[in-house]
Structure 1
Amino acid sequence: MIRPAVRRRPQPRPRRAVVRAVFAAAVVSVLAACSTAADTSDPATPSAPPAKAPVASARVTHALPDDPVRMLLPATGAEGRWTQGLDTFGQQVAHTVTASCASKGGFALPQNAPPPAFIRFFELPDLDFIAQHGFSHSAEVPMPAAPPATDRSGTPDEVRRCQDEGAAAADALRKTYVQPQADWFKELDSLSSDPATVKAMAALPDCLARHGIDVPDEDGFFRHTDTRLHSAAPVDLPRENHVLGGAYADCMRPVEAVREPIRERLRTRFLADHTDEIDELRKTLVPALRRAEERHGVRLSFPAP
């Protein structure tokens, strides 16, 4: 099933939120690896029917929310894009500091580390985004130009030292907000047992069946999607991605219609219970992010439709 290891934070989220956050990330490799083949295939080939609609390329935005706390405490899928950008900013900082350390040391880093990527949260499904882009990669994360290359490979100790330096820079950025964010995602995790949510989720299999997808639940849908995307011919991947994303978005809308008001009420209570901490974050979070942008030469970005 498409559930790669998550890039963990200094303090982990609740297990359910972590596991469900990263489904779309692995689909990137499936679709990207086959994009060239899909572009060069003969559209007249009988086994390669065209997609009903193209999966549009996503872009990035740099616009901050009116209340910066929404980056930490998202209540809707659309707000989760700000959380994705904030999380990815830590990756950008770590990646850039690690690369700079290696360049100063005159050695090259291993090429097996994945670049920073926006990771979606399926506890907060962004249904409009999924309907438009399917489960493919949402947008490319802006990164500064790589330092000059060198032919010498770093020793394990050298590489580890630079990776530790990058991790320390990211941790220094995250330490001011990682705990309230983890506390908030723990609150979101409680929705899985909420009676209204359970009732809404019970209707999901019937809706998916109307789209020709016979699965018992949401996890079954992800297993089904994993199988279809890995077994599809390269030229069929855009169509499969679009069809699966459209079906998921359609069938999850009644669920989100129930869950979003509950999340909003939970957030109102959470803000009231953490007034001093939240007030401090409202004053300090954005200035801290701007200082990190200037220091490390990276820019806070968010996926956008």
Structure 2
Amino acid sequence: MVRQASPGRIVARVATAAAAALLTACSASPAPSAHGSSPEPLTPASLSHALPPDPVRMVLPATGAETRWTQGLDVFVRQVGRTVEASCARQQGIALPAQAPLAFIRYYDLPDLDFIARHGTSESAPVPTPSARPAVAARAGSPAAINRCRTEGRTAADALRGTYAELQGQWFGEVASLRRDPHTLRALRTLSRCLAGHGIQARDENAFFALSDARMQTAAPAELAGAEREVGRAYADCMRPVEAVREPARLRLRARFLADHADEIRELRRTLVPLLHRAEEQHGVRLAFPAP
């Protein structure tokens, strides 16, 4: 399965990735850029509502940029589930326990390097909030009532996700197989030296993120945004030789995958977008995708 960041770690990485960029710093002074000035601030990401010309690119991404559609689809399905939960709770006059806010979650095996270079390794666009219904007085719900609403939400989300999840899971298995590809492994051997040139001592990609996590507390809050931009640029720069190998390989894999699953792909192209539009109208949730 393709490695996906957890929502909690996305939040934490704002601090931890910034710390990685400051590994050689011995004080709380801002890290200088290559030109001797403070790092530029992060550029806020935006949202797009434009669907891909082929829904295959949303469900079976082969490039980092295509995963923006995949992230948006995943968030949309989760939003539908939460909207149904909230509707159930309103009908019963109960309050549901608070949940962590939704976030666009990236895929480690398909890094969106242009986006990362612009926004850093953690920052993305904020997930839009569906239009809220008027607040009503609500009592605390019993465990059974809460579970009933949670089940309704999961059922609604699963009805959407079930139209593509099995096919997507098979595709992500194909993508993950490139971790063992000799050409990919050869390209990844360049990563450590490149990161060292940016002042980051990490032997590989996993060590890069582990080191960031371990140094979570080392960066001052005022330095986080600029340092996040610096480390995002370093990561994007050093992973480009790897993606120059992996992206063409993924595109070849996808062409073969589409041929091997022609009937399922034909059905996906015929049904997915109309289904999503009906869900938008029914639940008052709009598809949105992170955009640079």
Q: Establish whether TM, by shorter chain, passes 0.5.
A: yes
Aligned equivalents of 1:192 and 1:29: distance in 2? Answer: 26
1:118 aligns with 2:104: yes
Report the Cα offset of residue 227 of structure 1.
Answer: 3.0
Unpaired segments of 5 or more residues in structure 2?
A: 16-26, 32-37
Matched ranges for 1:223-242 at <5 A = 223-242=210-229
Tell me, yes or no, if the aligned pair for 1:25 and 1:137 is still in contact at 8 Å: no
Could you tell me which residue of structure 2 aligns to residue 290 of structure 1?
277
* Structure 1 stretch displaced more, 167-176 or 225-234: 225-234
Comparing 168-177 with 153-162, greater Cα deviation is found at 153-162
SS in 2 for 1:303: strand
> Which residue does the alignment assign to 1:81?
68
CA contact (8 A) 2:81 2:153 kept: yes
Which amino acid in 2 is paired with 1:49? P
**2:10–2:105 CA contact under 8 A, matched in 1:** no
Counterpart residue number, 1:210: 197
1:35-56 per-position Cα deviation (integer Å, ceiling 9, x unaligned): xxxxxxxxxxx94538411101
Contact 1:107 1:154 in 2 (8 A): yes
Q: Contact (CA 8 Å) 1:138, 1:303: kept in 2 or not?
A: yes
Which runs of structure 1 show a deviation greater than 4 angstroms over 4 or more consecutive aligned residues? 29-32
- Number of the residue aligned with 2:34: none
Task: Choose 260-269 or 209-218, whichever is displaced more.
Answer: 209-218
For 1:187-206, list aligned pairs within 5 A. Answer: 187-206=174-193
Q: What residue in structure 2 maps to residue 281 of structure 1?
A: 268
Distance 1:248 1:49 in 2: 19
Deviates more, 1:288-297 or 1:144-153: 144-153
Correspondences of 1:1-305 after superposition (within 5 Å): 14=1, 17=2, 20-22=3-5, 26-28=9-11, 31=14, 47=28, 49=30, 51-111=38-98, 113-147=99-133, 148-305=135-292
Distance 1:229 1:134 in 2: 16
3-state SS of 2:62 partner:
coil
Deviation at 1:146, TM superposition (A): 3.0
Change (3 A) 1:25 1:106: same
Question: Aligned partners of 1:105, 1:49: CA distance in 2, in Å?
Answer: 53
Number of equivalences: 274
User: Aligned pair in 2 of structure 1 residues 231, 110: CA closer, same or farther (>3 Å)?
Assistant: farther
- What is the TM-score of this pair, normalised by structure 2? 0.89
CA drift at 1:29: 5.1
Cα RMSD, aligned residues only: 1.8
Task: Give per-residue Cα distances to partners, 1:93-144, cap 9 Å, x unaligned.
Answer: 0111111111111111112x11221110010000010111112331111222
- 1-side partners of 2:246 and 2:225: how far apart? 30
* Conservation of the 8 A alpha-carbon contact between 1:99 and 1:146: no
Contact kept? 1:61, 1:302, Cα under 8 Å? yes
Judged with a 3 Å threshold, the aligned counterparts in structure 2 of structure 1 residues 176 and 23 are, in CA distance, closer, same or farther, namely closer
SS of the residue corresponding to residue 47 of structure 2 reads strand
User: Which structure's relative contact order is higher, taking Cα pairs within 8 Å and 6+ residues apart?
Assistant: 2
Q: Could you tell me the TM-score, scaled by structure 1's length? A: 0.85
Structure 1 CA distance, aligned partners of 2:280 and 2:8?
25
Instruction: Tell which deviates more after alignment, 139-148 or 207-216.
Output: 139-148
Query: Deviation string for 1:117-174 (max 9, x for gaps)?
Result: 1110010000010111112331111222333153522221111111111010000111
